Amino acid sequence: VLQLCVPLNSFGKYYITIQNCIVDLENMLDLLHEKVEIVDNKDATELKVINGDIEFQNVSFGYDPRGETLKNISFHVPSAKTLALVGPSGSGKSTIIRLLFRFYNVTHGSILIDGQCINDVTIKSLRRAIGVVPQDTVLFNDTIKYNILYGRLNATECEVTEAATQADIHKIILKLPSGYETKVGERGLKLSGGEKQRVAIARTLLKAPKIVILDEATSALDTQSERNIQNALNQVCQNRTTVIVAHRLSTIVHADEILVLKNGEIIERGTHQSLMQQDGVYNAMWQQQLQMDELASNEQ
Ligand code: ATP
């Protein structure tokens, strides 16, 4: 029996490690489909995050050496400001995020966080500095408390309930059969998409990173829950450098800068107001969204 227990035990450990990785990186990064080959450079040091300032300098990248997925991308997100990435499917939005996490090395140019090139710092310290609220949150088969606590395992019970309150999920949890001790996930109670996203927000609030990535849901939530989740999202972005991969333009009108991407290039950039004054792609996307919203409200 002992001979059987030891390998089973270590399998259990690996299983938990793999599951942790999946929860960390979430669906957005399509972890299971990515070849993760990047390792720390020989002289890598810890990333020192002071302000969470992000800079892309003339970044080009191709998944395949024969083609470029991103071409000459430059932007600067100062501390606590918000950058939104918009553009059609396949334009390169998620690739920008994957490069920020250093899932791949850039082909040309560089990415800096607080002035430090991300190639020169340890991958662990880089990823620790960035929180993600993905569009589809993966939950552990564990209690809802653990699922929130995972953001910072040494947080106190009080901090967990505070994060849940800010993420607008505390009251929902209290109504569950065993409150914070209710088992959720694949084999437990299934939460709705919006509730899972709130768990991710609470988790990120506990982690308290200087940089937050929001991957907006493609599927429209009904307006009331959308409005509620917007408050929770605003909480998580407050005083943090934020990059939003946006699908609904109405959520990014207050972004400090919007980049419109097409085929891996920035074709327009500016604030919502300045982009609306141009008769360009952003303006057309906005008009199209208005029409779609109108159609949807007529159908209701
Ligand atoms: P969406 O809005 O659909 O999520 P996106 O703007 O985020 O799209 P990316 O996922 O960054 O687009 O994809 C940019 C391009 O890179 C696309 O042509 C895509 O097919 C390609 N691509 C994405 N991931 C990989 C990969 N792992 N290997 C090869 N090509 C990829």
Output the pLDDT for position 31: 46
pTM higher than 0.90: no
Sign, CA dihedral 139-244-57-77, equals negative
Calculate how far, in angstroms, residue 88's C-alpha sits from the geometric centre of ligand 1. Answer: 11
Amino acid found at 79: S
pLDDT category of residue 19 using cuts at 50, 70 and 90: low
pLDDT category of residue 32 using cuts at 50, 70 and 90: very low
Does residue 207 line the site of ligand 1, with CB under 6 A? no
Tell me which residue has tokens 């929902």. Answer: 172
Name beta bridge partners: 212: 131, 242
Q: Is 110 helix (H, G, I), strand (E, B) or coil?
A: strand
Does residue 127 line the site of ligand 1, with CB under 6 A? no
Output the pLDDT for position 35: 54
What six digits make up the tokens of 47? Answer: 């990333």
* For ligand 1, atom 29: residue with the closest CA: 63
Mutational test site, ligand 1, from 66, 95, 97, 259, max ligand atoms within 8 Å of CB: 95
Calculate how far, in angstroms, residue 19's C-alpha sits from the geometric centre of ligand 1. Answer: 24
Q: Which tens digits make up the pLDDT trace of 197-233?
A: 899 999 999 999 999 999 886 655 556 666 678 888 8
Higher pLDDT, 217 or 247: 247
* For ligand 1, atom 19: residue with the closest CA: 90
Q: How many CA atoms lie within 13 A of 273 on its CB side?
A: 2
Looking at the CA of residue 97, tell me the nearest atom of ligand 1. Answer: 11
Name beta bridge partners: 133: 214
Looking at the CA of residue 91, tell me the nearest atom of ligand 1. Answer: 6
Q: How many CA atoms lie within 13 A of 247 on its CB side?
A: 14
Name beta bridge partners: 28: none
Does residue 135 line the site of ligand 1, with CB under 6 A? no
Q: Which tens digits make up the pLDDT trace of 251-292?
A: 899 999 999 999 999 999 999 999 999 999 999 999 998 888
* For ligand 1, atom 3: residue with the closest CA: 89
What six digits make up the tokens of 173? Answer: 């949890």
Q: Which tens digits make up the pLDDT trace of 114-171?
A: 999 999 999 999 999 999 998 888 899 999 999 999 999 999 999 999 999 999 999 9
Output the pLDDT for position 136: 81
Tell me, what's the ipTM? 0.98
Mean pLDDT of the chain: 87
